[in-house]
Structure 1
Amino acid sequence: MSRVRGARPEDAAALAELSRPFVCSGALRERPVTLYATRAADFLVAEAPDGTVEGCVGLRLHPADPGEGRGPAGVVYNFCVAGPSQGSGVGAGLLRAVLARARAQALGALFTATTGGGGLFLRYGFTPTTLRLAPSRWVESLDPRRDARILALSL
């Protein structure tokens, strides 16, 4: 059974390695190892009893946008689980932990972009939404060529 913990800068290489197959498939955007190190506080990791990183998820905070009348929101990103651990509850554990973190930080909503079906997100109450409801800085960073579905969850 894996445990979920906050990532540390020294996890950066493991996070990049875990993400690589998903980058190659087009499911994730490529991110340099340095990003994983500098933004380690964004990430939660699922760690197997032997210390292997089985999954990760990032939560990026976006402050309230007073010009648009929205409160603080979060973006769930770089969510992935190693192939052998898929279907074992690792992803659900990570998603529950990121939801708890978002609620503890009093975020009003969470957003994510997925190129897949988004089944796990949908099971946890995320619904399809439009870009205009998402944090503008995040929307500007999205690559339209990826044709991702935008999902949101009000907290």
Structure 2
Amino acid sequence: MTTALLPPAALPPRTSAALRHCAPECAVRPAHAGDGPALAALSRPFVRLGALRERPLSLYLSRSSDFLVAQAPDGSLEGCVGLSEHAADGVLYNFCVASHRQGSGMGGRLLRAAFARARERALSTLFTATTGSGRLFLGHGFLPTSPEPAPAAWARTLDPGRNAKVLARSL
């Protein structure tokens, strides 16, 4: 998984008013099958930048129950994170926040919701991979690790050419 952040040049200028009105007005909720096209659309800019792996619409449709989404009052999806279960561990993937919501706290809200979901499912450790700095994950208790302790089925899917850092967090 990549922490998908757009480069600063792609971000609109932030104002304190914009930050006050971002994350709190969005509801974090479980995704449903009808969210598949919006999940794909939300992810597309990050795929184009190489921050996320390309995934077919069929994956978003069939695995929509993995996702938590941040939904704006107008119904648009402004952030998402997938949580797949692997025995006692979980993997966070396809984590992205719309460029106009970055810096608003929405990423943190999505992570905290993912932690709550993982605890409800009695998962003991969460793993993720990022080609970015990992700053958000590190700030929420993740630590660098190697792929070896991660779920083998997931670790085998990591593309060495992406130079992703694997991070883990105990729950």
> Shorter chain as normaliser: what TM range?
over 0.9
- Is 1:103 aligned to 2:110, yes or no? no
With structure 1 as the length reference, what TM-score do the two structures score? 0.93
Give 4+ residue runs of structure 1 displaced > 2 Å after superposition.
none
Match in the other structure for 1:85: 101
> 3-state DSSP class of the match of 1:134?
coil
Q: CA deviation at 1:90?
A: 1.1
CA distance in 1, matches of 2:109, 2:37: 22
Q: Deviations over 1:103-150 (max 9, x none)?
A: 111111000000000111001100000111111000111111110000
1:1-155 matches, cutoff 5 A: 1-63=25-87, 72-155=88-171
CA distance in 2, matches of 1:88, 1:154: 25
Q: Deviations over 1:52-106 (max 9, x none)?
A: 100000000001xxxxxxxx10000000000001111111110000010001111
CA distance in 1, matches of 2:140, 2:119: 14
CA distance in 1, matches of 2:48, 2:164: 16
- Structure number with the bigger relative contact order (C-alpha 8 A, sep ≥ 6) is 2
Q: How many pairs does the alignment contain?
A: 147
With structure 2 as the length reference, what TM-score do the two structures score? 0.85
- Which letter does structure 2 place at the counterpart of 1:84? H
- Which letter does structure 1 place at the counterpart of 2:108? A
CA distance in 1, matches of 2:66, 2:154: 15
CA distance in 2, matches of 1:49, 1:101: 23
